[in-house]
Amino acid sequence: MAGSGGKQVGVSCACTWEREALAAWLSRFGYPVVDVGGETTLVEPPAVVVVNGRDRSSLARLHWMPAARIVVIGGSGDADAARSGLRHLPDGPDLADRLRILLQSLLGPAAGRVSLSPREREVLTSYVLGATVEETAAEHYVATSTVRTHYRRVTSRYTEAGRPVANKAQLLLRMIADGWIQLRDDVPTPAPLTADPADGAGAERRRGAA
């Protein structure tokens, strides 16, 4: 479970099996994971420590860790009141994606990120940020079938990496987490979602982008 280097993610949990489960889950993100417990004498403290928001005792034992390097996942967020500067990610179906994006912003991309060609990145960035298949094809001077082919190939790679993508909104999160898209302050807020043919049956696209 331990790793080395400046991209270590520490885990702290009072319960052994919960700690092991959290470590196994975090290892899927591609960063080396180390058990910090309540230790204050680690040779190389991890860059970030992740704590279950319901485990108040572990959070209290991390008094030696700078608050800005502690990420609390789940729970109500009440624990944040005890120490200002803690980063809290509430429960939700997209918790894994939000944590991956946060770790990527703090530590840089993980070594195991899914690869995209420059052309795939260009085309799919336009598409996941709100353009329709037809608009994406026109913008990049390619056929609509090419846009759909890029989408299928890249989503297949994410599935093979254990990070399945069901629609363009999820692909947007994956590409941000892997550093392929850098959001700026001038990126518009995404519009509500409706069905889009490139995603297949039951998928979604930006309403008003057609």
State residue 37's pLDDT score. Answer: 67
- Domain assignment present for residue 3? The answer is no
Task: Report H helices in the chain.
Answer: 16-27, 56-61, 95-107, 118-128, 133-140, 144-160, 168-177
137 vs 20, more confident: 137
Quick one: average pLDDT of 162-169?
89
Compute the C-alpha angle 137/163/136, nearest 5°: 10
The CB-based long-range contact list for 181-185 (8 Å cut-off, 24+ gap) reads: 181/125, 181/128, 181/129
100 and 160 in a single domain? The answer is no
Residue 156 lies in a domain: yes
The arithmetic mean of pLDDT across residues 91-107, rounded, is: 85
Q: What's the average model confidence in pLDDT over 69-88?
A: 72
CA distance 192 to 194: 7
Q: Tell me the three state secondary structure of residue 165.
A: coil
More confident residue, 13 or 6: 13
Q: Is the pTM of this model over 0.75?
A: no
Residue 14: CB atoms within 10 A of its CB come to: 15
| Domain end marker among 86, 107, 128 | 107
- What is residue 113's predicted lDDT score, i.e. its pLDDT? 76
29, 99 Cβ separation under 8 angstroms: yes
* Domain assignment of residue 186, yes or no: yes
Do 41 and 74 lie in one domain? The reply is: yes
List, in order, residues 6 or more apart from 210 with CB less than 8 Å away: 132, 134, 135
CB 58 within 8 A of CB 13: yes
CATH classification of the domain holding 68: 3.40.50
Q: What is the CATH number of the domain that holds 178?
A: 1.10.10
Would 1 be classed as within a structural domain? no
Asked whether residue 78 is assigned to any structural domain, the reply reads yes
Q: What is the pLDDT of residue 35?
A: 86
* Confidence check: pLDDT of 206 > 50: no
Q: Are both 74 and 160 inside the same structural domain?
A: no
Domain enclosing residue 89, as ranges: 9-107
Rounded Cα distance, 60 and 32, in Å: 24
Q: How far apart are CA 180 and CA 172, in angstroms?
A: 9
Per the listing, tokens 């299928």 go with: 152
Is residue 74 predicted with pLDDT exceeding 70?
Answer: yes
- CA angle (23, 28, 34) in 5-degree steps: 35
Task: List, for residues 142-164, the tens digit of each pLDDT value.
Answer: 999 999 999 999 999 998 888 88
Domain count within the chain: 2
Task: Compute the average pLDDT of residues 131-152.
Answer: 97
- Final residue before a domain boundary, out of 77, 107, 137: 107
The confidence score (pLDDT) of residue 95 equals 87
Q: Is the pLDDT of residue 112 over 60?
A: yes
Residue 111's pLDDT band (cuts 50, 70, 90): low
In this structure, what token pair is assigned to residue 136?
Answer: 């994406």
Q: Looking at the structure, do residues 190 and 139 belong to the same domain, yes or no?
A: yes
Residues 92 and 134 in one domain: no
Q: Residue 193: its pLDDT value, please?
A: 38
